Amino acid sequence: MPRFRLIPHTSDIGLYSYGDTLEEEFSNAAYGIFSVMTNLRKVREIELRRFSVESMDNEALLFDWLNQLLYLSDVEHLLFKRFEVIIDKFFLFATCYGEYFNPERHKIIIGGKSVTYYLLEVK
């Protein structure tokens, strides 16, 4: 099973993520976002960030999770490539691995702006 698949979207890029569990699906959605931002083969797992997100339903949880990752990428200039996710009802705890953006090693293909609710669905 693929981790994710890119789909046409009215703004920039859309994707479907897949997983045998909700945690795997959320992790693969994050992986998909960062894989369109840069070549993840060049990102090392030398930095980690732990954080939690709580929302009112699974769609809001996915939205908040991905936007938190984009916030960390934008503010701290981090590129993540591995995501350990634990979900309990509508509470998500994550450990994310990656490294700081280095222009000598990383090329930003498409910058991440924001996740939208347009077509957002968790099954």
- Residues 53-80: tens digit of each pLDDT: 999 999 999 999 999 999 999 999 999 9
**Count: domains in the chain:** 1
Q: Residue 15: left (phi > 0), alpha (psi -120 to 50), or beta? A: beta
Q: Is the pLDDT of residue 12 over 80?
A: no
Judged by DSSP in three states, 67 sits in helix
What would the mean pLDDT of 92-108 be, rounded to a whole number?
96
In a domain, 59, yes or no: yes
Cα separation, 70 vs 68, in Å, equals 5
112-116-118-121 Cα dihedral, nearest 10 degrees? 100
In a domain, 48, yes or no: yes
In a domain, 27, yes or no: yes
Q: Is the pLDDT of residue 30 over 70?
A: yes
CATH number of the domain within which 65 lies: 3.55.10.10
Of 51, 59, 49, nearest to 25 (Cα)?
A: 59
Portion of the chain with pLDDT greater than 70, in percent: 89
Whole-prediction pTM: 0.90
The confidence score (pLDDT) of residue 120 equals 58
Q: Is the pLDDT of residue 116 over 70?
A: no
In a domain, 115, yes or no: no
In a domain, 34, yes or no: yes
- Reported as half-sphere exposure (CB side, CA atoms, 13 A), residue 25 has a value of 17
Cβ burial 15-25 (10 Å sphere, 16+ → b, else e): bbbebeebbbb
Bigger pLDDT: 21 or 14?
A: 21
What would the mean pLDDT of 43-50 be, rounded to a whole number?
98
Q: Which domain holds residue 73?
A: 4-100
In a domain, 17, yes or no: yes
In a domain, 121, yes or no: no
Q: Comparing 36-45, 82-91, 112-121, which segment has the lowest mean pLDDT? A: 112-121
In a domain, 53, yes or no: yes
